[in-house]
Chain A
Amino acid sequence: MSETLILTPRWGTKDSHTLASYRRDGGYAALAKALAMAPSAIVDEVKASNLRGRGGAGFACGLKWTFLPKDVRPRYLTVNADESEPGTFKDRYIIEYDPHMLLEGIAIACYANDIHTAYIYIRGEFKRQAEILEVAIAEEYQAGILGPRLLGKLDFALDVHVHRGAGAYICGEESALLESLEGKKGYPRLKPPFPAVIGLYGKPTIINNVETIANVPWIVQHGGAAFAALGVGKSGGTRLFCVSGHVNRPGVYEKPVHYNLKRLIMEDCGGVLGGRQVKAVIPGGSSAPVLTGDEIDVSMEFDALKAVGTMAGSGGVIVMDDSTCMVRALSRISKFYADESCGQCTPCREGTPWMEGLLERIEHGLGVPGDVDKLAQMANNIGGQTICALGDAAAMPVQSFVKKFRAEFERHVTERRCPFGDHAWGKNQETREAVIGGVTAQV
């Protein structure tokens, strides 16, 4: 298995966030190479790379770029740095450790698609990361990389701006993000039309996740085929997997996109804290259907996880040991979706707090016979009934937890209490060191 690192090799090195350090390590050679290529040839390389969107949906990046209508200008690039899916914490480290890699990717993507304005939409809670980006962008303007002449060479103007959100998970949904960027509340738009056709300010817009765009310089440097070869089938490259919960070494691990989930947890992360057993794993952020400890010997590639009934999502792997209460965990997940539902569609607005309330009732021993069926029924009435995927995201954890841990839910009802008592979140809850791309996290 390949050990090639694309995104993390500079993490933890001295001043890795500065332009000087990025240039010393060969930064902007990819942009220089790109500017000597025909824009369409760059798009072809990205298509050949099998780069799939790292934000959650896994959509083919190169294909997305080809959806822009040929003759409408201006076009916009919007980079999604609204990283808010519970269990996901990778884009922030790209920004903290290597913001110029992201900016180089943005520059190449804009040149390839004839885009002259890019916005990085970053979640409001990432104040420090937004400041790092502002500084990095200012460095680039000063160096003449951004501005009227791209890389100081080509007669191609490019402006990149940071737009900081203000606390709303829904703004990670691409059309809600556009609404928010237009200064409105984050209500997702009906699709079609897709943003590639009618996006920001009604103009064609590409929306890519931070990690997706950060891969672009490497693809231009080494070729799409080399990137594709790191992965498998229709998924190329490496991925940042974020592991949290009851493991010995939580953190961000860059691995081939089809890396084995069990190996990641048991070998890279050093297994479960205190030598306990894995009870449940959420493989792709809290929206992804849960896997039991017996189901984790799988590839984490998009289609492979889909084949076992879950999804690779945002790469957020949450591990729960055998002392964790599944009702407690699910009730907290449901609270999240109830809190974050934007309120636009009735099934989601009304259904998510209802599920949360019912789960709280069951967790506290107040459930009555039939509640577990009712819960599953509610989830089925939300999924697929809403404008955006938040409804599905709220339904999928409920459906999967109830299906896979039904006996535990029923036990809460029949025993009229939580069998886990006051350690529903597990017997080992202590804080521990994290590994971030090969270095120990400095907090």
Chain B
Amino acid sequence: MPNREPGSPGAVKDLPAEGVQRFDAELFPILRRYPEDRKASAMLPALRIGEHVFGYLSPPVMALAADRLGVSPARAQEVATFYVMFNTKPVGRHVVEICTNVSCCLTGADRIFRALKQKLGVENGGTTADGLITLREVECLGSCGTAPAMLVDEEMIEQLTLQKVEKILGSLG
């Protein structure tokens, strides 16, 4: 894979031009944080921006990130599949991630998670039939004192009860 300069038009023909523009506009200021010859350092931010702009990390989105950072698409894919926060498959409109690690379960997370699976009719990692919510069990979120905790579209919500969770899910449109 040749090392292309960032900004080259390569590998982007399968993506909408407007999205690519937004991707570049968000990524390029971040590249300044890393040494000139170490642009690949921006892989995590690039993939995050790609997911934000295009919805999920499809192969063309990973290829775009790789192209802008001068590395092979395989490298982008390797990173995208290593970190659990990246989605390489489409997800629901909202992603609900509940921690079921020890401190959360000691305060009821296990029961909440089970009730949610039943209510939404999905298994761990599943998306509701209407495509609204993807439910996922995640590891410790660093909210053990204010447990149980969950992320809704990456926003942390703490001191959960089943009633509180149901109310939040009900408000998701």
Contact = CB atoms under 8 A, between A and B. Distances in A.
Nearest to A169: B139
B44 A163 contact: yes
B102 interface: yes
B155 A127 contact: yes
Nearest to A426: B106
A430 interface: yes
A164 B48 contact: yes
B145 A182 contact: no
A167 B136 CA distance: 13
Nearest to B85: A167
Given A332-B101, A332-B105, A185 B79 contact: yes
A384 interface: no
B78 interface: yes
Given A83-B142, A125-B156, A167-B84, A182 B147 contact: no
B164 to A, nearest CB: 8
Contacts of B145: 89, 242-244, 250-252, 434-436, 441
Contacts of B47: 166
A89 B85 contact: no
Interface stretch (A36-44, A333-341, A355-363): A333-341
Given A86-B101, A201-B38, A168 B146 contact: no
Q: Interface range on chain A: under 10, 10 to 19, 20 to 34, or 35 or more?
A: 35 or more
A431 B108 contact: yes
Nearest to A119: B33
B158 A92 contact: no
B106 A166 contact: no
A182 B83 contact: no
B103 A86 contact: yes
A124 interface: yes
B47 to A, nearest CB: 7
A340 B82 CA distance: 10
A340 B140 CA distance: 11
16 contacts: A83-B142, A86-B139, A89-B144, A125-B151, A164-B45, A166-B83, A183-B44, A184-B40, A185-B79, A244-B145, A329-B102, A425-B106, A429-B106, A430-B108, A431-B148, A435-B145
Interface of A: 83-89, 91-92, 119, 123-128, 159, 161, 163-169, 180-186, 201, 242-246, 250-252, 282, 286, 316, 318, 320, 324, 329, 332-333, 336, 339-340, 342, 425-426, 429-436, 441, 443
Interface of B: 33, 35, 38, 40-45, 47-48, 69, 71, 75, 78-79, 82-86, 100-103, 105-108, 110-111, 138-148, 151, 154-161
